[in-house]
Amino acid sequence: WIVTTDLDNTGRRCRGRLHRTGGAPGVAPDGATTHGGMVNLATYLATEKLKPGLVFGALADKDWRPMVEILPPPARDAIVTRVPSSRALPPMEAARAFSITGIFGMVVEDPDHAVRTAMGIAGPDGLVIVTGLLYPVGHVLGALVEAQ
């Protein structure tokens, strides 16, 4: 895995922050789990002039709404999925929140299918960012490691 940027502003490389995979399109799981992390992610995307597709998942008992509000305008669309937890945020709730911000929010319940859907939408030259909380990021990182 290659970390493409210093998103924690310490000069260190951070595992779980934009581990961009090879392939077409690229997939970059990003564990931006705080307000500051999302601001850094949105700033990076805007600076690099990237308009990625997003896969987003969160827990209902976490403060996920600010994450949704920060990501526009760099994001293109959001595929909202259910994280593997009994505390999972209902995907339709986050999809509605994305739609209010002007990003198309689509629900795909299964995380693996959500990533494949986002890859299809992104196209071969695109980028898919998997974010929200560490649950979807860890799930996708695990699946990518198994596929290698």
Side by side, the strands of the sheet bearing 53-57 are: 26-29, 127-132, 53-57, 77-80, 104-107
72 against 141, higher pLDDT: 72
- How does pLDDT run across 39-56, given as a tens digit for each residue? 888 887 787 777 788 899
Query: Which pairing describes strands 2-3 and 19-20: parallel, antiparallel, or unpaired?
Result: antiparallel
Confidence class for position 79, pLDDT limits 50, 70, 90: very high
Please compute, for residue 13, the number of CA atoms within 13 A of its CA located in the half-sphere on the CB side: 8
pLDDT of amino acid 134: 67
| Per-residue tokens: 43 | 């700033």
Q: Is-above-0.75 flag for pTM?
A: yes
- How does pLDDT run across 81-93, given as a tens digit for each residue? 998 889 999 999 9
